[in-house]
A and B are shown apart, each in its own frame.
Chain A
Amino acid sequence: MKSNKKLLAAAVIFLLLITPVLVFAGGQQEAEPEAPMVEKEEAPEKKAEPFALAVVVPGVTAGSPLYEQLVEGAQQAVDKYPNASMKVVELGFNQAEWAEKMTSIVATGKYDVVISSNPSMPFVCMELAGQFPDQKFIFVDAFIEGHPQMASFLYNQVEQSYMLGYLAGLITTSDMTGANADLKIGIVVAQEYPALNKMMVPGFLQGAQAVNADITLDYRVVGNWYDANKAGELAKSMVDAGVDVIGVICGGAAPGVFEVAKERNKYVMYWDDNSYAKAPGVIAGCGALHQTKLVSEVVEDAINGKVKFGTGVKLNSRDGYIEFIGDDPNYLDIIPAAMQAEHKKVVDSIMSGSLVLEVPEL
């Protein structure tokens, strides 16, 4: 009994000891002025009104090229304005919590604009936008039109996918090592969503079939953005079925496909980022979105009050936000010169606008 009392007393003393730390911490918070969130550089333009930006990453920043570009672009713009500050908030991988966390961010009332990047975000924010009618949202890599609190910027993924599909078509009809006569290309995706179903997959197949109309597409879904083992199993099964070029839109699961492609002398097409270095000799084609540039421009516009809310802008390669990476040494090593030249013609025709690939209704 005595020892029990001692134990209880020790526990109470311990809690009492940490209490001043907590109280002090709280008091310190009240006393301290809010620290600047970013370092400032020379400003080209001065604005008196403070501008606070929340950069919301639906997932985690590290390891996702588009999210890294989102943060980088916002930072670039904010650094130019002394009155601007930003905070990056990561929503994590549990999609069920995104709406609640987003609401928590908006409920602070601290931010003039919330910017995010993901096709799902306009829909995640739809309900909460009604609850907070003064909050403005900017979405990149997403599309919504006509909502007075939202502005969106959608990349024409048909163009990027067509460029990659055309190269896949050239490879599968070639006599390159690993290419076979089956006229089958494949794509491994993390999950189905409208932009994928209506732009990326059709664009990829359309590009390949522009080379040979008999080319068919083997389409597989991983079911998440991280399971490299499952993606690898799917890739194995596709290769066994005669696929020699595999497109990957599956985030962290893609390395599973790289491994199988390397073992079996097959090729991979990669979207949204120059990732040749991730699997040299395996990734034969990379598209890229210039999200850093877009976000930097858009955030600058937001700071200067120039963003037109209620609009949805569709961006294509002629605007300078989409390209095929055709000058990387890894690409130049893998793809024969004649094939590069043939592919370049198609890329140039898209970039110049002579080949028009429209964004469908999402």
Chain B
Amino acid sequence: MKVNRSDWFVTASALLITLGAAFAVMLVMIFIMSETPGETIYYFFAGPLTNKYYLGNMFNSAIPLILTGLGIAFAFRSSMFNLGGEGQVYAGGLAATAVALPLPAAGAFFGITISLLAAVVTGAVIAGLSGFFKMKWRTDELISSFLISNALIYIVDNFITGPLDDPENNLLVTSKIAEQYWFKKIFLPSNLDISIFFIAIIAVLAFYYLFKTHQGYEMRMCGLNPEFARYGGINVGKYMILPMLWSGAFHGLAGAVAVFGTSHACYKGFSGGMGWNGIAVALIARNNPIAVIPAALFFAYLEAGAKSAMINADVTIEIASIVQSVVFFLITAQAIYNFVKFRRKAV
């Protein structure tokens, strides 16, 4: 993958401006919201790095974001838009839990494997539907993935608060999965678990698939110029479904990893923000699977900083959402700009 120097400058400067603007907004918000802005700023920036617990949890919350970022990157590379990440993560988490719960005595390897498989298949099928609809009836996948996801959220809610609800628990949550399925913690007392290594390997494999395999090449060609790809003999219809399948699979896996690694049960609304933040992560990473890792860490850092400021100073957790929204807004605006530029060139 050769990178043009001019492109590099555009990318780097746009990214720096975006992040700089986001931090500037955050500083303004802190000065408005906090009575002790110095303290708040200190805890926001330094808090996540001050002890093992905060640091480990920051890495831990980056894990699902890496997966959702990969999912979005796969779709975007093929010019497919998957806006249904939230529902796919949520449904994936539920599917994995629903498979694990009836198997309290199964071996860890077997139980984890089929549960994760269930999550991957669930996510893939949900997102794949939008790809199929696009191939078959030219349905806009941006709309269909969003609508399907929104409907699914209510269905998953219903399962969590209904048939799978744990009546002995005061929270809106399913029963806990058996202990042998819990991912091993590697940085106590934080929640960081062993899956981070596997997720990093998955990101590398995703890069290899996209940029070093024939199928990855065809997928990217379909994204860059579908008409050219069709002229070159590529089955363009196939690449309306395949990237969505991949995208959904990553999202479903993110849900399962969040449950098996951290919460060990499916909480109502546990996936809040993972899908949407995955879009921002992919856009910051310019849809590069390797760059998704630092981008996800950046988002996790924002959230960890906000939590630290909330606990140690006098602001609420919403400050993280505001900064993330600003990043999302600016990055999306940049993406639209690029998209328009690309379309103009294509015409």
Q: What is the interface of chain A mostly: helix, strand, loop, or mixed?
A: helix
B-side contacts of A35, CB under 8 Å = 36
Judged by a CB distance under 8 angstroms, whether A219 is at the interface is no
Q: Which residue of B lies closest to A230 (CB)?
A: B154
Task: Report how many residues on chain B are interfacial, defined by Cβ distance under 8 Å.
Answer: 54
Interface string of A11-39 (1 = CB under 8 A from B): 11011001001101110111010010000
Residues of A within 8 A of B38 (CB): 24-26, 28-29, 32
- B169 and A26 contact, CB distance less than 8 A: no
* A192 contacts B311, C-beta separation under 8 Å: no
Could you say which of B6, B17, B162, B310 contacts A89, with CB atoms under 8 Å apart?
B310
* A194 part of interface (Cβ distance < 8 Å): yes
Chain B residues with CB under 8 A of A1: 5-6, 9
Question: Do A14 and B20 touch (CB < 8 A)?
Answer: yes
Shortest Cβ distance from A119 into B: residue: B170
Chain A interfacial residues counted at CB < 8 A = 51
Within 8 A of A (CB), among B143-189: 157-158, 161-162, 165, 167-173, 189
Judging by beta carbons under 8 Å apart, are B20 and A11 in contact? yes
Check if B311 sits within 8 Å of A104, measured CB to CB: yes
Chain B residue with Cβ nearest A120: B170
Measured in the bound complex, the distance between the Cα atoms of B189 and A359 in whole Å is 37
B211 within 8 A of partner (CB): no
Complex contacts, B158 vs chain A, CB 8 Å: 223
Q: Which residues of chain A are within 8 angstroms of B168 by Cβ–Cβ distance?
A: 194
Contacts of B13 in A (CB 8 A): 4, 7-8, 10-11
Instruction: Tell whether A237 is near chain B: CB-to-CB under 8 Å.
Output: no
Chain A stretch 209-239: residues in CB contact (< 8 A) with chain B: 221, 223-224
Nearest chain B CB to A97's CB is how many angstroms away?
8
Contacts of A338 in B (CB 8 A): none
Does chain A have a CB within 8 A of B45?
A: yes
Q: Which residues of A contact B53 (CB under 8 A)?
A: 103-104, 107
- Of the candidate stretches B134-142, B218-226, B263-271, the one touching chain A is B263-271
Min CB distance B192 to A, Å, is 12
A104 touches B16 (CB 8 A): no
- Interface assignment of A354: CB less than 8 Å from any CB of chain B: no
A349 within 8 A of B: no
Q: What are the 8 tightest A-B residue pairs by CB atom distance, in nearest-first order?
A: A120-B170, A11-B16, A96-B267, A25-B41, A28-B38, A4-B9, A29-B42, A96-B270
Told that A14-B20, A131-B189 touch, could you supply 13 new A-B pairs with CB distance under 8 A?
A7-B17, A10-B17, A14-B17, A28-B38, A29-B38, A29-B39, A32-B38, A90-B310, A94-B267, A103-B189, A193-B167, A221-B161, A223-B172
A–B complex contacts, Cβ < 8 Å, 11 sampled: A10-B13, A18-B23, A22-B41, A22-B45, A25-B38, A25-B42, A28-B38, A35-B36, A96-B263, A131-B189, A194-B170
